[in-house]
Amino acid sequence: VFCGDAGAFVLGTILMAMFYAPRGSAIRKGWGLRWGVMFVGAISFMQVFLTWSGPIDDLPFGEIEGVNLSDPSLLTTMYGWSITQLVDRYLLLAKFCFAAIVALYLWGLLSGYADVQVLKNRNRSLGQSS
C-alpha cells in the first residue's frame, strides 16, 4: 500500500539515475532519450514530493471510486499510521532518494574530472615523446 507514491519516488530516482549510464550504452547513443528519461523522472519525483510536502488538506485521502480507499486512507485506517507518521515516512524516503541522486551527481563530477586529468596526462606524455 505504501509503495504507490513511494514507488513514484524510487522509479523517478531510477529514471534520473539513468542519465549517468555508461558511455557506450544504448541510452547514451541518442541525446534525446537520455535527457527525456531524466526529465520524466524528475517530473514524477517532484509531483509526488509536492503532494507530500504541501498542506495536509491536499493529501490524497478518500476513496477510489469502485475500488477501495486511497493508499493514505488505507494506511491510516487499516494500519494505524498517524498522518504525521505517514507524511514523515514519505518525506524520509524522498530525502534518501534525493541523497542518492546527489551522490550520483558528485560521482559523475569526480569521474569526469578524473577523465579530464587522464587525458591531460596522456597529451602531456605524447607531447614530450615527440
Q: Which tens digit of pLDDT belongs to each residue from 51-80?
A: 999 898 889 899 888 888 999 999 999 999
Q: For residue 33, what pLDDT band results from cuts at 50, 70 and 90? A: confident
Listed residue (67, 68, 70) closest to 59, CA to CA: 70
Q: Which residues contact 69 (CB under 8 A, 6 or more apart)?
A: 62, 63, 77, 78
Global pTM? 0.83
Q: Within 10 Å of residue 9's Cβ, how many Cβ atoms?
A: 23
Task: Specify the higher pLDDT residue, 83 or 23.
Answer: 83
Average pLDDT, the chain: 90
Q: How confident is the model at residue 11 (pLDDT cuts 50, 70, 90)?
A: very high
Tell me which DSSP letter residue 37 carries.
H
The whole-number average pLDDT for the span 27-33 is: 78
